[in-house]
Structure 1
């Protein structure tokens, strides 16, 4: 039995593995640095959820839709974020019957630090690959991949 390969001799299965490994390397480094900066309990799913909550806040139903998960799954993640001090449920000023999920100052700090850390990680990749190669890689990925949505969590979980 022989393994198939593309015209340039590289096996096709390697590309998604390399992309996943690159993603994992960035996310693992991000979370290690977040832990050093005072956010040891933040997990990748929490980051996706905080992005889904957004700066103005959202309902649990909106968070679930943005993440591509059930309302119950979103609720569990929101509960955990609230336990950790990253989010809170408040009355929606536009509709008193509804609760709004908002990020706390701790949640906002985590997202702000994440942005700075991602910039530093990108700078390290630019140093390792060269700025032009990294820009070419990003441009190439934008050409072949649709914009990333927040429903990555459901994609990985199979929901």
Structure 2
């Protein structure tokens, strides 16, 4: 049976979605019922240096207002704090809290467990081949944090 290019894109998206949904459900079982995928993208961007709503919006490719709402949720839940900027007293910088880093580490461990499940389903050699081929097709570049904004973007590039 021949598949189309659209089928391939949907299979890849389905794999991504399946892993993310399973990880989100497992995080909830482990006590983090309030974590959503966008929260992880945001915390990773903040940990990498996005220390304001404007920076976070640019990193996630979302409006500043959307970034501000995400920040408010993360602050309320204790995953991120606002600290005074040592160089500008008028400015507050975002920092991921120890709890936020704990959630990210827990999520990483869950993804490792999900990877092992896939490896068991395909077999070690077949999975290594699958992963290697996928890496060859996708490239060596890291995944960007702007996936939430990219997914919501219109054809003209607007959110």
TM-based fold match above 0.5: yes
Instruction: Name the TM-score, length of structure 1 as normaliser.
Output: 0.86
Unmatched tracts of structure 2, length 5 or more: 154-158
Unmatched tracts of structure 1, length 5 or more: 1-7
Instruction: Kindly report which structure 2 residues correspond to 1:1-159, keeping only aligned pairs within 5 A, or say none.
Output: 9-54=2-47, 58-146=51-139, 147=141, 148-158=143-153, 159=159
Q: CA deviation at 1:50?
A: 0.9
**Which shifted more, 88-97 or 29-38?**
88-97
- Contact kept in structure 1, 2:84 and 2:92, CA below 8 Å: yes
Task: Provide the rounded CA distance (Å) in 2 between the counterparts of 1:9 and 1:21.
Answer: 18
Q: CA RMSD in A?
A: 1.8
Task: Provide the rounded CA distance (Å) in 1 between the counterparts of 2:88 and 2:28.
Answer: 37
Task: Provide the rounded CA distance (Å) in 2 between the counterparts of 1:138 and 1:63.
Answer: 31
Q: Which runs of 4+ in 1 moved over 6 A?
A: none
Name the residue aligned to 1:4: none
Aligned residues: 152
